[in-house]
Amino acid sequence: MTVVYILAGLLVLILLLAALAPKNYHVTRSVTINRPLGEVFSYVKMVKNQDYWSPWKKRDPNMKQEFLGQDGTIGFVSKWESDHKQVGSGEQEIISIIENERMEAQLRFLKPFKSVSTGFFETRDAGNNSTEVVWGFYGDNKFPVSIMMLFMNIDKAVGKDFEEGLADLKQTLEAS
């Protein structure tokens, strides 16, 4: 009978944690780049350009990559595969482009765990020939991963990478 009470208690605990767990996530960071809007947007919509400023590419410069389609257009797919635990493997596909405003890509992570998110870049005229770039991603936390999110701050973890990448993007574009 004690075993039944223990199992029932564990089940109640899991159900309680699942009820309290965040159901979705949304992470964004931004930077102002001293370059014109059209030039910045044309650069960030090209997925292959991420090789020059992505924090994950810096972590594993030898990751395997494959590209399908025409970069900077809807349907373009970038696949990556890495043994580095912070890089993993997956693919991103451009799903929407609003010229000089927003580019969205579906991110399909395969390793270290499977998930699907939407990543995006937004650009806004910041005046004086400069552009604000917002980099973000969002998605749903499905059970049981949602319970893990009670103990992990995804905004802090991913946000740090976004800040690093945006600083490198700014440096790359302002140097050219």
| Cβ-contact 66, 47 below 8 angstroms | no
- Run of H or E residues at 137: strand 130-140
3-state DSSP assignment of residue 138: strand
Query: What is the mean pLDDT of the segment spanning 152-172?
Result: 87
pLDDT at 26: 81
Question: Which of 123, 126, 125, 127 has its CA nearest to residue 135?
Answer: 123
| Cβ-contact 147, 21 below 8 angstroms | yes
Q: What are phi and psi of 81, to 5 degrees?
A: -145, 125
Q: 13-17, 52-56, 77-81 — which is least confidently predicted?
A: 13-17
Question: Which is higher by pLDDT, 21 or 72?
Answer: 72
Question: Which of 32, 42, 26 has its CA nearest to residue 133?
Answer: 32
- Long-range CB pairs of 141-146, under 8 A, 24+ apart, other chains included: 141/21, 141/22, 141/23, 141/24, 141/25, 142/115, 143/18, 143/21, 144/18, 145/113, 145/115, 146/18, 146/21, 146/22, 146/23
Question: Which is higher by pLDDT, 87 or 129?
Answer: 129
Residue 125 has pLDDT above 70, yes or no: yes
pLDDT-derived band at 159, boundaries 50, 70, 90: confident
Q: Where are the domains of the chain?
A: 2-175
Task: State how far the Cα of 79 lies from the Cα of 97, in Å rounded to an integer.
Answer: 19
Task: State how far the Cα of 35 lies from the Cα of 83, in Å rounded to an integer.
Answer: 36
CA torsion angle 100 104 105 107 (round to 10): 140
**Mean pLDDT for the chain overall:** 88
pLDDT at 152: 67
What is the value of pTM for the model shown?
A: 0.83
Residue 115 has pLDDT above 60, yes or no: yes
**CATH number among 3.90.1150.30, 3.40.50.300, 3.40.640.10, 3.30.530.20, domain 2-175:** 3.30.530.20
Question: Which is higher by pLDDT, 24 or 19?
Answer: 24
Q: CB count, 10 Å around CB of 80?
A: 20
Query: What is the mean pLDDT of the segment spanning 113-118?
Result: 86
Query: What is the mean pLDDT of the segment spanning 50-69?
Result: 93
pLDDT at 32: 97
pLDDT at 22: 62
pLDDT at 129: 94
